[in-house]
């Protein structure tokens, strides 16, 4: 049987000890040894889930469980037999690690359902990831010797989502959780869509990876080195199933059948379910998470409305997806001056579980702990976003491609470009390799944006060099006044930190700080798409989400606007069709796009 890590999650810190290269590649350092047990834990409906239990050898006291539930595969016995890293001693000696394959994955029984929604509470026999987590904890407490009756759960990405699901109705023994980059809403902001815009390359490759085979993480085989060309050659989205999936990838069929925010997507979203903080929980986000940046922020926000006992916390650092599990000193070319991931693991992750599961330490954790990039320092806040000491300042898109805090007069002026679906703007420098396994996907959000700066279909505005630092902390919003000659459109807004041309390191570098896309058909609601009135200026609010960053003295602030971002997002035909997944080649047309004076970016500036 193949057991593998799928690099989407880089898996959680709790699995790092068992599934990363530390297990097999760093044999020169001391090793820590555990007992390996592979069991099939029965669920309430009779299905059995494959579970690996790693118990410290010669444990001197009853220990708590630390659980990860995953679709990506559990640790292999031959890898664990080589010993765990000395750097993981605190975990491997003080916890019983549990890694479980969810239903229908590898040797676990039952049917795999991508992001299985909670079952109907009226169905007394219903099952979902919440009931499976409950049954797993119950079995562990009753059947694994020398446990102290407490369990915690943590995970990254899909595994973070299963951690949140476990917290919806936690077993009495489940005392704490950390969700890292859990998706919260797959139509509004996470893996598969952002504001209704479909994440093409990611959705295509991820669906193929999990639903082509139950016993391995499948990798789709492209016949070209540049997937930009491959996806452009694919043509309309309807060709994907006809040519490659043939109705055998359920999630892709769901994409086709549910092109708007209908009951299918709403059932998967957490908004209807997060009505109470039932166990202490941390939500961990990475400022440059290329997959689930929206999720942990939204889950924290939803739970914060009900956090009367102060058990809901937010942490964000300068990481990509799962970056808190590795080395946090750099991301791509950007240096943060210290190992931010090590800081997170030693100062937040470890003390959190030691406190709640082992009764150790006086937990002193701020409501929000965030890393302020640019200045490269950790900051603590009483609320997130911060409410005190922050001023909303409007940075306007002015004439001459300038940005300024002074509003322009009401003269109706605009800048324009032509958006051509046949020549879309690439989201990273070409050639664009497959999403996995290459390293480029993990760092594309910090790549130098100069590769698109002078494309005729990308508009750019920037400030003069800043006379002093501008620090921001909180939510960033773009207010766009725009028109299109078509009857549908996408609008992409990017906030960029431009380094000085004479900087000692990375001169002229254009570092993207915040970004987002909106699909114009959903401007009046995501449930019902509507055509855009051609040529009419309309207002669009684009939430770029929260951030903490210092634009340093001598740097410039830049804003870019474009209408394609390919192939991470599918091409909008720019001619309204009820379902873009059913669009024909003739529906894809050029459009003239205009951005009007008065458009602005609202920055949460620290006073």
pLDDT at 362 over 60: yes
Residue 599 is classified by DSSP as: B
| Residue 583 contacts residue 475 (beta carbons within 8 Å) | no
Give the model's pLDDT for residue 301.
Answer: 98
Indicate if the pLDDT at residue 9 is higher than 60: no
CA 98/CA 48 separation, integer angstroms: 15
SS3 call for 133: helix
Longest CA–CA separation in the chain, Å: 78
Instruction: Give ∠ CA 354-359-365 in degrees, rounded to 5.
Output: 60
Residue 421 CA to residue 419 CA, distance in Å, equals 7
pLDDT of residue 331: 98
115-139: average pLDDT: 95
Task: Look up the CATH number of the domain holding residue 497.
Answer: 2.60.120.260
Residue 51: count of CB within 10 angstroms of its CB: 22
Predicted local confidence at residue 29, as pLDDT: 66
Q: Please give the residue range of the domain that contains residue 555.
A: 390-606
Residue 545 domain flag: yes
Q: Flag whether pLDDT at 18 surpasses 60.
A: no
Query: Is residue 357 in some structural domain?
Result: no
Which H/E stretch holds residue 25? helix 22-25
- Residue 398 domain flag: yes
Please indicate whether residue 252 or residue 124 has the higher confidence score (pLDDT): 252
Give the integer Cα–Cα distance in Å for 549 and 377: 10
- Per the CB < 8 A criterion, the answer to whether 216 and 3 are in contact is no
Residue 385 covered by a domain:
no
Under 8 Å CB-to-CB from 45, ≥6 apart: which residues? 110, 125, 127
Domain boundary among the residues 130, 149, 168 is at 149
What's residue 28's pLDDT?
A: 57
**Which helix (H) or strand (E) covers residue 134, if one does?**
helix 129-143
Q: Residue 453 has what pLDDT?
A: 87
CATH of the domain at 88: 3.40.50.1820
Q: Is the pLDDT of residue 3 over 50?
A: no
Average pLDDT of 171-185? 98
Closest CA to 333 of 449, 453, 500, 505: 505
Residue 358 Cα to chain centre, angstroms = 30
Q: How crowded is residue 477: how many other Cβ atoms within 10 Å of its Cβ?
A: 20
Instruction: Show which of 122, 149, 176 is a domain's final residue.
Output: 149
At residue 55 the predicted structure's pLDDT band, cuts being 50, 70 and 90, is: very high
Mean local confidence (pLDDT), 485-510: 98
Residue 188 inside a domain? The answer is: no
Condensed to tens digits (0 to 9), the pLDDT of residues 509-529 reads: 999 999 999 999 999 999 999
Instruction: State both tokens at 64.
Output: 């708590």
Tens of pLDDT, residue by residue over 143-166, are 999 999 999 999 999 999 999 999
d(CA 605, CA 607): 6
Both tokens of residue 105? 């994955």
Among the three residues 92, 125, 149, which one is the final residue of a domain in this structure?
A: 149
How much is the mean pLDDT over the chain? 93
Q: How far is CA 603 from CA 33, 74, 285, 449, in A?
A: 51, 44, 20, 20
Tokens 């008065």 map to which residue? 598
Query: 3-class DSSP state for residue 98?
Result: strand
Nearest-CA neighbor of 196 among 272, 263, 255, 259?
259
Span of 72-86, 102-116, 539-553, 560-574 with lowest mean pLDDT: 72-86
Q: Which residue has the higher pLDDT, 57 or 592?
A: 592
Instruction: Please determine, for residue 27, whether its predicted confidence score (pLDDT) is greater than 90.
Output: no
pLDDT classification of 91: cutoffs 50, 70, 90: confident
Q: Which position has the token pair 């409410």?
A: 387
Count structural domains, the chain: 2
Residue 328 has pLDDT above 80, yes or no: yes
Please give the model's pTM, rounded to 2 decimal places: 0.94
Give the orientation angle of helix 250-257 with respect to helix 200-211, to 10 degrees. 140
| Alpha-carbon gap, residue 147 to 154, rounded angstroms | 18
**Residues making up the chain, counted from first to last:** 607
Q: Encode 136-184 in three state secondary structure.
A: HHHHHHHHCCCEEEEEEEEEECHHHHHHHHHHHCCCCCEEEEEEECCCC
Per the domain annotation, does 373 fall within a domain? no
Report whether pLDDT(253) > 70: yes
**202 in a structural domain:** no
The answer to the question of residue 238 being in a domain is no
């Amino acid at each position: 049987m193949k057991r593998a890590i799928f690099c989407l999650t880089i898996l959680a810190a709790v699995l790092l000890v068992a599934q990363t290269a530390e297990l097999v590649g760093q044999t020169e350092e001391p090793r820590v040894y555990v007992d390996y047990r592979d069991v099939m834990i029965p669920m309430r409906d009779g299905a059995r889930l494959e579970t690996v239990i790693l118990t410290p050898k010669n444990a001197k006291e009853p220990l708590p469980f630390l659980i990860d539930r995953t679709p990506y595969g559990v640790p292999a016995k031959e890898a664990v037999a080589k010993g765990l890293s000395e750097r993981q001693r605190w975990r491997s000696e003080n916890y019983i690690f549990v890694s479980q394959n969810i239903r229908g994955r590898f040797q676990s029984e039952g049917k795999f359902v991508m992001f299985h929604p909670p079952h109907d509470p009226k169905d007394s026999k219903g099952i979902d990831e919440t009931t499976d987590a409950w049954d797993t904890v119950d079995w562990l407490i009753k059947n694994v010797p020398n446990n102290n009756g407490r369990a915690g759960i943590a995970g990254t990405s899909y595994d973070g989502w299963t951690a949140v699901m476990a917290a919806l109705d936690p077993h009495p023994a489940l005392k704490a959780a950390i969700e890292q980059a859990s998706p919260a809403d797959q139509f509004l902001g996470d893996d598969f869509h952002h504001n209704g815009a479909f994440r093409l390359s990611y959705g295509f490759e991820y669906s193929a990876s999990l639903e082509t085979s139950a016993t391995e993480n499948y990798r789709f085989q492209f016949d070209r080195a540049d997937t930009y060309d491959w996806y452009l050659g694919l043509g309309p989205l309807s060709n994907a199933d006809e040519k490659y999936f043939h109705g055998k990838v359920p999630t892709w069929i769901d994409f086709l059948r549910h092109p708007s925010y209908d009951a299918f997507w709403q059932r998967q979203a957490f908004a209807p379910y997060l009505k109470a903080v039932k166990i202490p929980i941390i939500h961990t986000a990475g400022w440059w998470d290329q997959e689930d940046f929206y999720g942990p922020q939204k889950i924290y926000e939803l739970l914060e409305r009900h956090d009367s006992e102060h058990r809901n916390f937010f942490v964000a650092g300068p990481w990509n997806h799962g970056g808190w599990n590795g080395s946090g000193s750099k991301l791509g070319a950007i240096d943060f001056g210290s190992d931010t991931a090590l800081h997170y693991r030693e100062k937040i992750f470890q003390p959190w579980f030691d406190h709640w599961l082992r009764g150790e330490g006086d937990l002193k954790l701020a409501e929000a702990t965030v890393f302020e990039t640019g200045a490269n320092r950790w900051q603590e806040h009483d609320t997130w976003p911060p409410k005190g000491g922050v001023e909303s300042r409007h940075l306007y898109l002015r004439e001459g491609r300038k940005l300024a805090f002074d509003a322009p007069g009401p003269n109706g002026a605009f800048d324009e470009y032509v958006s051509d679906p046949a020549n879309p703007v690439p989201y990273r420098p070409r050639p664009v390799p497959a999403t996995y396994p290459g390293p480029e996907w993990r760092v594309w959000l910090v790549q130098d944006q100069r590769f698109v700066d002078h494309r005729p279909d990308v508009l750019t505005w920037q400030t003069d060099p800043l006379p002093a630092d501008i620090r921001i902390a909180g939510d960033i919003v773009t207010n766009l006044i725009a028109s299109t000659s078509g009857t549908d459109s996408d609008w992409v807004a990017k906030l960029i930190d431009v380094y000085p041309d004479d900087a000692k390191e990375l001169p002229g570098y254009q570092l993207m700080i915040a970004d987002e896309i909106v699909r114009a058909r959903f401007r009046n609601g995501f449930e019902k798409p509507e055509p855009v009135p051609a040529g009419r200026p309309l207002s669009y609010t684009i939430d770029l989400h929260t951030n903490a960053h210092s634009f340093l003295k001598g740097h410039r602030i830049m804003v870019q606007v474009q209408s394609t971002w390919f192939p991470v997002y599918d091409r909008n035909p720019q001619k309204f069709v009820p379902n873009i997944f059913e669009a024909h080649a003739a529906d894809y047309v050029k459009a003239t796009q205009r951005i009007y004076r008065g458009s602005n970016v609202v920055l949460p500036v620290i006073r």
